[in-house]
């Protein structure tokens, strides 16, 4: 068996954010010696192995790549933590378990990933978000001063930063998306922009490139996936644009634009089978309902809310239906499994209602049909 201890040393060093110089100084060797180890040009003396393991807070077995019971223990922690995260309940015990696991196995990327996700979710539950509008400004924004005190998000960013230094990062795109969003919420815009600028533009994304790289039925499937991705981004950016500009909200332009986007979605999914996009339709109708309530049109607001609620119910029904096949012409080749409809999508209704005016909430509470919403 070929020994590749150098690869493991490099992996562990990078996962801890350490330099070759840091390891060399701790062991009393030269940087050149560490460099040769990591390139597998030579091996460390055997008497140094315990010191190297101690430096990385790991076992000698791990340095030599022996899995044994270690792999089974890690897999059990991963399975247990993923169930706890998916259950969307209190994650205090999950965080304790994952922090201990990361301390014990610092070079295991999926443990770091799960810890980061758990911290992010726990941060939402513990702190939430507050919005603000500066005097004289036409824009509503997140209260970054409040969000910057979210200790769980700060820890999550530290965990994800470490994760991105490792090779073969799982869920890399999702991690980067979450980091950019959370950096911005906490007011660390330069970090957010730096990370965002390091990513490829939309036309060079995986979804768009796969369309160019295929033909016939396979291309049609990739076209559907690309349309899905672009629809998600279109909804996200238009919604943010029209709902954060105060003059738009007051003039009624926000409602008009959101309704235009709803009609566009209805043209794409002409047969009414929206699949995971029932969540987007729900969100758009909820925003329109809130806008109507703010303008005093409570009857119209409730009509829009009822449509949003119906989309929400259809989304919940999909979750247990297994494989989902779209049938509208533009996306008829796309097939999603139920695990592509994450539980997080189902929390949208309650999240949006946090920003609803009291007059709308009171009307919703009057109808037993909507009991789960409030």
Residue 146: which CATH number?
1.25.40
Cα gap 254→271, rounded to integer Å:
26
Give the number of domains in the chain. 3
Within this chain, do residues 193 and 208 fall inside the same structural domain, yes or no?
no
Closest CA relative to residue 311, chosen from 279, 270, 340: 279
Helix (H) or strand (E) holding 196: helix 189-197
Residue 253 within a domain:
yes
Burial string for 115-132 (b: 16+ CB within 10 Å, else e) reads: bbbbbbbbbbeeeeeeee
pLDDT at 2 (0 to 100):
47
Within this chain, do residues 207 and 193 fall inside the same structural domain, yes or no?
no
Residue 157 within a domain:
yes
Indicate the pTM of the whole model.
Answer: 0.69
Half-sphere exposure of 73 (CA within 13 A, CB side): 12
Quick: pLDDT tens for 41-58: 888 887 788 888 888 877
Quick: pLDDT tens for 124-146: 989 988 888 777 788 888 899 99
Q: Which of 11-15, 209-213, 263-267, 358-362 has the lowest mean pLDDT?
A: 11-15
- Average pLDDT value for the chain: 87
User: Structural domain of residue 330, as residue ranges?
Assistant: 203-373
Q: What is the DSSP letter of 201?
A: P
Helix (H) or strand (E) holding 133: strand 131-133
């Amino acid at each position: 068996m070929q020994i590749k201890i150098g690869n493991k040393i490099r992996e562990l060093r990078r996962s801890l954010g350490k330099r070759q110089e840091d390891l060399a100084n701790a062991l009393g060797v030269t940087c050149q010696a560490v460099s040769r180890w990591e390139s597998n040009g030579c091996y460390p003396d055997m008497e140094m192995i315990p010191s190297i393991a101690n430096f990385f807070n790991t076992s000698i077995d791990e340095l030599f790549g022996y899995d044994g019971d270690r792999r089974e223990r890690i897999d059990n922690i991963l399975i247990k933590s993923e169930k706890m995260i998916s259950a969307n309940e209190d994650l205090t015990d999950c965080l304790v378990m994952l922090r201990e696991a990361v301390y014990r196995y610092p070079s295991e990327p999926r443990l770091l990933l799960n810890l980061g996700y758990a911290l992010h979710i726990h941060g939402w539950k513990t702190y939430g978000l507050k919005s603000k509008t500066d005097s004289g400004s036409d824009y509503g924004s997140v209260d970054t001063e409040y969000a910057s005190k979210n200790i769980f998000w700060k820890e999550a960013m530290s965990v994800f930063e470490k994760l991105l230094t490792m090779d073969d990062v799982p869920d890399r795109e999702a991690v980067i998306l979450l980091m950019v969003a959370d950096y911005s919420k906490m007011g660390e815009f330069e970090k957010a922009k730096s990370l965002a600028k390091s990513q490829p533009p939309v036309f060079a994304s995986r979804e768009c490139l796969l369309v160019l790289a295929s033909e016939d039925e396979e291309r049609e499937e990739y076209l559907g996936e690309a349309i899905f991705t672009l629809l998600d981004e279109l909804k996200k950016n238009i919604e943010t644009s029209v709902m954060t500009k105060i003059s738009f909200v007051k003039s009624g332009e926000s409602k008009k634009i959101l309704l235009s986007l709803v009609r566009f979605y209805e043209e794409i999914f002409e047969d009414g089978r929206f699949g995971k996009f029932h969540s987007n339709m729900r969100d758009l109708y909820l925003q329109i309902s809130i806008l109507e309530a703010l303008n005093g049109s409570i009857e119209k607001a409730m009509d829009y809310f009822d449509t949003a609620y119906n989309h929400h119910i259809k989304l919940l029904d999909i979750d247990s239906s297994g494989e989902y096949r779209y049938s509208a012409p533009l996306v008829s080749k796309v097939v999603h499994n139920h695990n592509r409809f994450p539980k997080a999508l189902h929390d949208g209704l309650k999240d949006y209602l946090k920003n609803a005016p009291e007059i709308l909430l009171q009307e919703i509470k009057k109808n037993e049909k909507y009991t789960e919403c409030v």
